[in-house]
Structure 1
Amino acid sequence: MTGSWLSGPSAALPKGADGTEDRYRGERLGLPESGPGSLVSTSRRLGAFMVDWLMGGGVALLILGGDLYSGMLGTVILGVWFVVGVVTVTLFSFTPGQFVVGLQVARVDAAVPVGIVRALARQVLLVFVVPALITDTDGRGMHDRATGTALVRSR
């Protein structure tokens, strides 16, 4: 009974697929092995997140009038990060931090923009942090699997 969740990322694979036949991450999704369009590493994801969070902190301080010790600072940062994430991923397919690091959010089922519904659902799941920490064999977080997206290299 507990084997399904204790078995690790490969437990989420379809029946008969054990993940050993994949030569690289993203092969099953039809993504290239390296270069633009390939899946990104966790370190690049964290770098983009840090840029976005620091930018949100700066905007939050402007909103609060520079009151660094306000009890609302964390909430305002989260709100700014959330709104910027939804708007920029919907319009451009990347957040400012992802642009700096050279990443973009792409749909894995079609070559069309992410759209507001997927961007909103993805950002809501990211607020809870845990979905981003649990990854599959391709390195995609639960938030990406749930929305049919992947974070890929843009350059």
Structure 2
Amino acid sequence: MVDRKDIGSWLTGPDTSGTSKYPGERLGLPESGPGSIARAGRRIVAIMIDWGIALLISNFAFGGDPWATLAVFAIEQTLLVGTLGYSIGHRIMGIAVIKPGGGTPGPLAGLVRAVLLCLVIPAVIFDPDQRGLHDKAMNTLLIRR
């Protein structure tokens, strides 16, 4: 049976006692500094850098074909994130992709993350810990280095 405490009151709002105070708290990560969840600003700038690099390569090698740009971007994300744990944009912005226990995500995680990132929608839908669906799908975290 649903109780008034479950729903909350229109005066007090829903019960928020179980929510975390900052992104990553539920995952045992620090609030700020190295090891904390990378915030949206760093992520956006990193993806802009990566897209710019893909666009430059595509313009020189493929005449600026949009599908070639997307393919170059996906290849960069797959190879670099899968092997090193960061793309060029991530490295410049001081962030990295890790598995929750630490370490690089691996080739499969790099590939799946890249494909989902290219679809855009999974990247813009995220949870309270600021993990996009592409990160949740492969159980990865984007943290500050």
TM-score, structure 1 as length reference: 0.79
Q: Which residue of 2 aligns with 1:127?
A: 118
Q: Which has the larger radius of gyration?
A: 2
CA deviation profile, 1:2-44 (whole Å, cap 9, x unmatched): xxxxxxxxxxxxxxx9574422210111111111110011121
CA deviation profile, 1:82-108 (whole Å, cap 9, x unmatched): 001110012210000111111100112
1:114 and 2:105 matched: yes
Indicate if the aligned counterparts of 1:26 and 1:39 stay in contact, CA closer than 8 A: yes
Indicate if the aligned counterparts of 1:36 and 1:153 stay in contact, CA closer than 8 A: yes
SS of residue matched to 1:138:
coil
Q: Distance in 2 between matches of 1:78 and 1:32?
A: 34
Question: How many residues align structurally?
Answer: 131
Q: Which residue of 1 aligns with 2:34?
A: 36
1:89 and 2:81 matched: yes
Q: Structure 2 stretches of 5 or more lacking a match?
A: 1-14
Indicate if the aligned counterparts of 1:131 and 1:142 stay in contact, CA closer than 8 A: yes
Q: Distance in 2 between matches of 1:56 and 1:147?
A: 24
Aligned identity (percent) is: 35
Q: Which residue of 2 aligns with 1:12?
A: none
Structure 1 segments of 4+ aligned residues over 3 angstroms from their partners: 17-21
1:78 and 2:75 matched: no
CA deviation profile, 1:99-124 (whole Å, cap 9, x unmatched): 1111100112x223210111111111
CA deviation profile, 1:40-92 (whole Å, cap 9, x unmatched): 1112111000000000011111212xx45xxxx11111010000111001221
Match of 1:63 among 55, 61, 64: 61
| 1:107 alignment partner AA | K
TM-score, structure 2 as length reference: 0.84
Q: Structure 1 stretches of 5 or more lacking a match?
A: 1-16
